[in-house]
Amino acid sequence: MRILITAGPTREYLDDVRFISNASSGQMGYAIAAACVAAGHEVILISGPVGLAPPPGCKLVPVETTSDLEAACLQHFPTCDGVIAAAAVCDYRPRKRAEGKLKKTGDTVVFEMVETTDVLAALGELKTTQQWILGFALEADDPRENALRKLKKKRCDYIVLNAPSAIGSTVNSIEVIAGDGSTALAVSGAKADIAIALASWLADAFAR
């Protein structure tokens, strides 16, 4: 299969040097990319800024902002069989980006924040009957209910539920949830081992 994988964080700039982001290391997405390549799939890895080397054998598309990620996904998804959306996308951005570098004035600075584009929902709208989407949900409160809500709203085929403890860690615990709420796969351990299990499951779940 030809698989699109997103990984790492996005950044949203307050001015030309400062940005808001999150603590995603990209380890899970990169491990999945490596496992999918090893399983014989063609992989396009769209990655936010991380300190990781891309797995050999994949095509790397570096991005920075959520808009960059959306543009890259919309460009490459139509030629792929499916997408694994593991990137940790910023949900908000400043309504207006300041030019240059903001200087200290001694006063309180207030930024008006607006929601970023929902990249996963955009891919769900674009998805054909021949394509599949495996989303990721990082949830703390009512995790399964929120993950299922996200699956249905974004038109995912399955969703990977994991917890905030996964951020920056080399280990993880995931549950792959189907649209009917059943558990398709549950595995814990090193992210590299989880990625191998996920790649093996993919071969059966999305066999054409």
Q: Which residues are catalytic?
A: 22
Closest by alpha carbon to 122, among 70, 79, 49? 70
Query: What length is written for the chain?
Result: 208
Residue 141, Cα to own-chain centre: how many angstroms? Answer: 19
What percent of the residues of the chain are helix, what percent strand, and what percent coil, each to the nearest 5? 30, 30, 40
Residue 92, Cα to own-chain centre: how many angstroms? Answer: 15
Rounded-to-integer distance, Cα 36 and Cα 97, Å = 38
Rounded-to-integer distance, Cα 172 and Cα 164, Å = 10
Q: What angle do CA 208, 76, 116 make, to 5 degrees?
A: 115
Closest by alpha carbon to 206, among 132, 151, 107? 132
DSSP letter assigned to residue 91 = S
